Structure formats: C-alpha cells, structure tokens
C-alpha cells in the first residue's frame, strides 16, 4: 500500500517538475490586496486608466501572436518585492492580471494550449 502511494507521489513530482506552469500563491493576494494596482485594476479597463492607477510599468512585453501586450510591475511591501502582470488585448483593454511576470503568464498560456 505504502509503496504504491510513494510511487504515485514520485511520478506526480516528476511530471510537475517537467512543467513550467506557475501557480499563484494566495498569500500574495492577502499581502498586496490594498495596493492600487491589485485593488483597482479590473478586466476591461483601458491601458491608459491602468497607467493612471499604477504609474509606468517596469517593462512592457508584446504577447505572442499579436494578441496584445503585457505590463510587468513590481509590488513592494515591507521590503518584499512581488512581480505582478497586467495583460491587454489588441484594443488595449485588460484581459488578465496576477502575481507573476508577463513571461511566466505567457508560458502558462502556452502550457494550457498544449493540454
């Protein structure tokens, strides 16, 4: 019994290690929920409005396949830094946001398409 559980756990760990899929940590939301970028930015918001709320991004990345762009931000709280992305469609409207970089978000999207 224990051997099969151990074997299953090892197989799952091996498969997980092969994936570049990043999962967001819910603690990040609790830690940074009061930051304007997290609290105020919503799907459908314009890129201009996001800039007014959050200021300039650290970097801007074009999404693969001419699907829009993505802004990288760095949230700071008590000396801890956390990446945060805001993705925009071709009409410069928010279509996604979260606690990872644009590059990590793009890798996640590619992994989802493979499934």
Per-residue pLDDT of the chain (115 residues; tens, 9 = 90+): 444 443 443 333 334 444 455 677 878 888 899 999 999 999 999 999 999 999 999 999 998 887 899 999 999 998 999 999 999 999 999 999 999 999 999 998 888 887 7
CA distances from residue 10 to 1, 7, 35, 115 in whole angstroms, order as listed:
14, 5, 39, 21
**Token pair recorded at residue 86:** 């805001």
pLDDT score for 91? 97
Q: Could you tell me which residues are beta bridge partners of residue 113?
A: none
Give domain limits for the chain.
24-114
Query: Which fold, 24-114?
Result: Beta-lactamase Inhibitory Protein; Chain:B, domain 1 (3.30.1450)
pTM metric for this prediction: 0.77
Residue 84 has a pLDDT of 97
Q: 42 vs 24, 27, 79, CA distance in Å?
A: 18, 20, 26
Tokens read off for 92: 């410069």
pLDDT, position 55: 95
pLDDT of residue 6: 38
Q: What is the reported pLDDT for 67? A: 86
**pLDDT at site 10:** 37
Six-digit token pair at 81?
């830094």
């Amino acid at each position: 019994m224990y051997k099969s559980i151990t074997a299953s756990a090892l197989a799952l760990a091996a498969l997980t290690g092969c994936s570049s899929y990043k999962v967001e940590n819910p603690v990040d939301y609790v830690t940074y929920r009061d930051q304007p970028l997290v609290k105020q930015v919503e799907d459908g918001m314009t890129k201009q409005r996001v800039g007014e709320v959050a200021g300039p991004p650290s970097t801007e990345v074009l999404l693969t396949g001419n699907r829009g762009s993505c802004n990288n931000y760095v949230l700071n709280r008590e000396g801890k830094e956390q990446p945060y992305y805001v993705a925009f469609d071709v009409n410069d409207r928010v279509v996604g946001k979260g606690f990872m970089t644009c590059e990590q978000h793009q890798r996640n999207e590619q992994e989802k398409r493979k499934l």
